[in-house]
Amino acid sequence: MVTTCSTERHDHHDVYAAQCPCRDVLDLLANKWSALAIGAMEEGPQRFGALQRRLEGISSKVLTATLRRLEERGFVDRTIYPAVPLHVEYELTDLGRSVAHPLGQLRIWVEDHIDEIA
């Protein structure tokens, strides 16, 4: 399917084209922390601490940056609850849920084939 690009940088969306903004989205989603964070949020809204515990090895700084990028691109919603102490939850948007399945399939493939990969 050929779609005229809304950026007007080229005629149609083509992830192989250097100027296509699709590359930026692919870069975001192909990042291990983004893919894992999206997977962790498939179960429903998550607090920051719960996400950090689930994503073993991620620093607070990297998780914050990852969640901000996902929120800026419309994959994640951030809700602040004005309680004491402050309570923040992150959850997938419809767009985030739509990409969760393909990323989940990739995670499954990696787990199934890791022993074959040198």
Express each pLDDT in 55-96 by its tens digit. Answer: 999 999 999 999 999 999 999 999 999 888 889 999 999 999
- List, as one string, the DSSP characters of the chain: -----TTSSSSS--TTSTT-THHHHHHHHHSHHHHHHHHHHTTS-EEHHHHHHHSTT--HHHHHHHHHHHHHTTSEEEEEE--SS-EEEEEE-HHHHHHHHHHHHHHHHHHHHGGG--
Least confident segment among 14-18, 25-29, 38-42: 14-18
**pLDDT at residue 7 tops 80:** no
pTM of the entire predicted model: 0.85
Query: Mean pLDDT throughout 98-108?
Result: 95
What's the pLDDT at 18?
82
What's the pLDDT at 9?
57
Averaged pLDDT score across all residues of the chain: 90
What's the pLDDT at 51?
97
pLDDT band at 4 (very low <50, low <70, confident <90, very high): low
Report pLDDT digits (tens) over 9-24. 556 788 888 888 888 9
**Distance from the first to the final alpha carbon of the chain:** 36
